[in-house]
């Protein structure tokens, strides 16, 4: 005979078993996930350690289930710096997760395979398979997944063209295919993606003209097309994005023509990158109205004077290097910025005495590049105030100062003062740098120990000691 307390105990057990059974995930989902796990050859940090046969897959890490205990979400995030990565191949058995609505396989680094398993997941809405090693083509029928709201394959090794069927994904708000090896052109069908707010195709091998279809993409906030092989002009319909576009990145292409006047109407623009193209002519006067711009990169083009006066409240990073500018001085809208951390004005025709340049704030500076100008004087005062500088480049100027008096802060990694008139001895503190070029100056004396080769010190007055010939005693 069971006592009443034993009976009570047993019924709780039975109850737990029953609820346990009820909460158990669908057999197809369990099989699909275990199939995924069996495709993983190495999981050094145990990301999938809780994925065990016979336990409720809804409790496995990274797995989420809907009300009927079907798996609706799979979220696995790696942290490569902590050795949290996965090696292996994405198993096509994931296509058994028929109710999957959201899949995030991000920063797993060594996960290969193709995206084809997605095609049999009709309810999929959100796909972020980023920074892995997916290869092959984006399936031509991906346009069948009409519930998709966000699609990202950024940071993989996908090849071939972007399928035009993507134009059928009219719910898409985010489309990120950057950092792959995609070829061909941007499909014209993209004009149907009226809900897009974020389009990134950067770092591929896409070519041809940028289609003139932006009148239809009037919700875009971020447009990243940099590092491709696009040719032609900036299409005029980009003008319609003026009210809300915040990031416009077209750098590192083969774009030509003038920078259009209408860009000055982009009142909310935060970042404009037109670098490393073949833009010619002047920068439009209308840029005076870009009062909210934080990051402006026009470097490596064929732009000419005059550069307009800007009324930006605070620029954070600016690169006007390697055009045909003759700025003469460093413009006051740069000098007065309270938040600037990166200033690159190489070969901008600046003719100042560096001691006379008194930036309002030096606190945030990481990078200063003034190479290839006609700057005289000394950076001693400037570098005395930049506590977090990482790179200082001023090669090919007329700087004349005693190098021993230059403060080399601990954060400094890269110092290039080649082709100036720097004199004095080379200080010991250079041993903390990662890159150094002091060639073609007037330095003298014994070199302190460092990892740098002879061409970091070549062409000076009387430097000696390793890596240069020994000093005469
Ligand atoms: C990546 O995976 C391959 C096999 O899939 C393996 O040989 C290689 O060692 C892995 N790399 C890392 C960094 O784990
Ligand atoms: C995709 O859609 C096409 C028609 O657009 C249809 O013929 C095809 O069967 C669909 N493929 C799948 C896998 O659903
Ligand atoms: C700046 O915008 C105002 C108002 O839209 C306009 O009147 C002015 O001409 C613009 N300035 C420049 C330099 O384009
Ligand atoms: C560097 O700054 C310190 C105070 O922070 C000051 O005492 C010193 O005179 C400065 N040196 C030069 C060369 O500007
Ligand atoms: C320093 O600048 C010179 C001239 O601009 C350039 O050739 C060289 O590559 C630079 N060196 C380093 C270490 O940055
Ligand atoms: C230093 O700059 C000179 C040009 O000024 C260049 O020829 C040399 O290769 C550079 N050395 C290093 C180590 O970058």
**Residue 377 host element (H or E):** strand 376-377
**Whole-number Cα distances in Å, 309 to 225, 287, 289, 327, 450:** 28, 8, 10, 11, 44
Ligand 5: residues with CB < 6 A are: 371, 395-396, 416, 418, 435, 437
Residue-level pLDDT at 4: 44
Coil, strand or helix at 7: helix
Residue 380 in contact with ligand 4 by CB distance below 6 A: yes
For residues 248-269, average pLDDT: 97
Residues 99-155: tens digit of each pLDDT: 999 999 999 999 999 999 999 999 999 999 999 999 999 999 999 999 999 999 999
Residue-level pLDDT at 23: 58
Q: How confident is the model at residue 12 (pLDDT cuts 50, 70, 90)?
A: very low
Percentage of the chain modeled with pLDDT above 90: 91
- CB under 8 Å to 412, separation ≥6 — which residues? 389, 390, 391, 392, 432, 433
Q: How many alpha carbons lie under 13 Å from residue 108 in its C-beta half-sphere?
A: 29
Residue-level pLDDT at 334: 94
Residues 367-392: tens digit of each pLDDT: 999 999 999 999 999 999 999 999 99
- CB under 8 Å to 141, separation ≥6 — which residues? 119, 163, 165
- Name the residue of 116, 141, 148 to mutate for ligand 2: max ligand atoms within 8 A of Cβ: 141
Residue nearest ligand 6's atom 8 by CA: 455
Instruction: Please report the atom of ligand 4 found closest to the CA of residue 380.
Output: 13
Instruction: Please report the atom of ligand 2 found closest to the CA of residue 120.
Output: 13
Nearest ligand to the CA atom of 43: 1
Nearest ligand to the CA atom of 459: 6
Residue-level pLDDT at 17: 38
- Name the residue of 268, 284, 289 to mutate for ligand 3: max ligand atoms within 8 A of Cβ: 289
Residue-level pLDDT at 6: 44
Q: Please state the pTM of the whole predicted model.
A: 0.91
* 473 vs 222, residue with greater confidence: 222
Residue-level pLDDT at 2: 42
Ligand 2: residues with CB < 6 A are: 119, 141, 144
Ligand 2: distance of its center to the CA of 289 in Å? 49
């Amino acid at each position: 005979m069971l006592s009443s307390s034993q009976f009570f105990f047993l019924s709780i057990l039975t109850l737990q078993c029953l609820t346990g059974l009820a909460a158990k995930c669908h057999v197809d989902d369990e099989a699909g996930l275990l199939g995924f796990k069996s495709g993983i050859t190495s999981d050094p940090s145990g990301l999938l350690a809780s994925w065990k046969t016979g336990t409720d897959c809804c409790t496995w890490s990274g797995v989420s289930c809907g009300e009927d205990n079907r798996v609706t979400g799979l979220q696995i995030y790696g942290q490569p710096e902590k050795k949290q990565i996965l090696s292996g191949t994405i198993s096509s058995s994931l296509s058994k997760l028929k109710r999957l609505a959201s899949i995030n396989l991000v920063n797993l680094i060594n996960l290969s395979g193709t995206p084809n398993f997605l095609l049999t997941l009709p309810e999929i809405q959100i796909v972020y398979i980023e920074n892995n090693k997916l290869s092959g083509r984006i399936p031509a029928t991906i346009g069948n997944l009409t519930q998709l709201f966000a699609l990202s394959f950024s940071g993989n090794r996908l090849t071939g063209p972007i399928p035009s069927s993507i134009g059928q994904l009219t719910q898409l708000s985010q489309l990120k295919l950057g950092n792959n090896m995609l070829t061909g052109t941007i499909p014209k069908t993209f004009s149907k993606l009226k809900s897009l707010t974020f389009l990134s195709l950067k770092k591929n091998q896409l070519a041809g003209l940028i289609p003139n279809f932006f009148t239809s993409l009037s919700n875009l906030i971020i447009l990243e097309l940099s590092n491709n092989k696009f040719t032609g002009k900036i299409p005029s319909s980009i003008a319609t994005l003026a009210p809300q576009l915040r990031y416009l990145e077209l750098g590192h292409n083969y774009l030509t023509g003038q920078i259009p006047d209408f860009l000055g109407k982009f009142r909310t623009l935060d970042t404009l990158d037109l670098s490393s193209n073949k833009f010619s002519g002047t920068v439009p006067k209308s840029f005076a109205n870009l009062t909210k711009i934080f990051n402006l990169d026009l470097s490596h083009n064929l732009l000419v004077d005059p550069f307009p006066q800007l009324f930006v409240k605070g620029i954070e990073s600016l690169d006007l290097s390697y055009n045909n500018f003759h700025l003469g001085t460093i413009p006051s809208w740069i000098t007065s910025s309270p938040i600037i951390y990166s200033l690159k004005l190489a070969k901008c025709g600046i003719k100042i005495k560096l001691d006379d340049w008194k930036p309002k704030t030096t606190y945030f500076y990481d990078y200063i590049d003034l190479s290839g100008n006609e700057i005289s004087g000394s950076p001693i005062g400037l570098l005395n105030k930049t506590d977090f500088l990482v790179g200082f480049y001023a090669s090919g100027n007329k700087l004349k100062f005693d190098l021993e008096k230059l403060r080399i802060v601990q954060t400094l990694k890269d110092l290039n003062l080649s082709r100036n008139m720097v004199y004095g001895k080379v200080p010991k503190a250079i041993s903390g740098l990662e890159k150094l070029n002091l060639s073609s100056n007037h330095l003298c004396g014994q070199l302190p120990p460092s990892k740098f080769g002879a061409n970091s010190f070549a062409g000076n007055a009387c430097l000696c000691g390793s890596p240069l010939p020994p000093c005469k005693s």
